[in-house]
Amino acid sequence: MEHTVGDLGQEIWQLSNPFANLAQHALQCSQVNALKSIYPDLDPKAGFHLPRSATDLENSYITLWPRDRYPAQIPEPAAEIHSQAVNLSKIRQWGRICLPNGQIA
């Protein structure tokens, strides 16, 4: 709250009527924030940039470091089932994942 008041205080340009000027800037700031929350595409800074070497999976899941440097061979009992499902014989293990709700597991 103090940070917001400080930011709005720096916006005061008309010293003859500072409270009306401050109220006008606060109104404009709240209207812009409301538009950005309704239409997120209006805010160019809101675009989420993935960390280096992170992988964006489907449904808002993001794999995060640390990870294995090289793909590893899948152990035999699971290799046959895995190769039938996704047609891969090697996998790379990741250390963390960002869930759709923002939590990191």
pLDDT digits (tens, 9 = 90+) for 3-43: 777 776 776 666 777 778 778 878 888 898 888 888 877 77
Residue 89 lies in a domain: yes
Query: Is residue 92 in a domain?
Result: yes
Calculate the CA 70 to chain-centre distance: 27
Residue 105 domain-assigned (yes or no): no
| Domain of 86, in residue numbers | 55-98
Contact 53, 27 (CB under 8 A): no
The total domain count for the chain is 2
6 and 40 share a domain? yes
72 shares a domain with 42: no
- Residues 8 and 33 occupy one common structural domain: yes
Collect all residues with Cβ–Cβ distance below 8 Å to 76 and sequence separation of at least 6. Answer: none
Same domain, 8 and 42: yes
On whether both 38 and 63 belong to a single domain, the answer is: no
- At 58-102, the pLDDT tens digits run 888 889 888 888 988 888 878 788 777 787 778 888 899 988 887
Decide: helix, strand or coil at residue 91: strand
Residues paired with 55 in a beta bridge: 63
103 located within any domain: no
The label of the residue with tokens 């499902």 reads 85
Euclidean distance between CA atoms 29 and 89, whole angstroms: 54
Residue 104 in domain: no
pLDDT at 96: 92
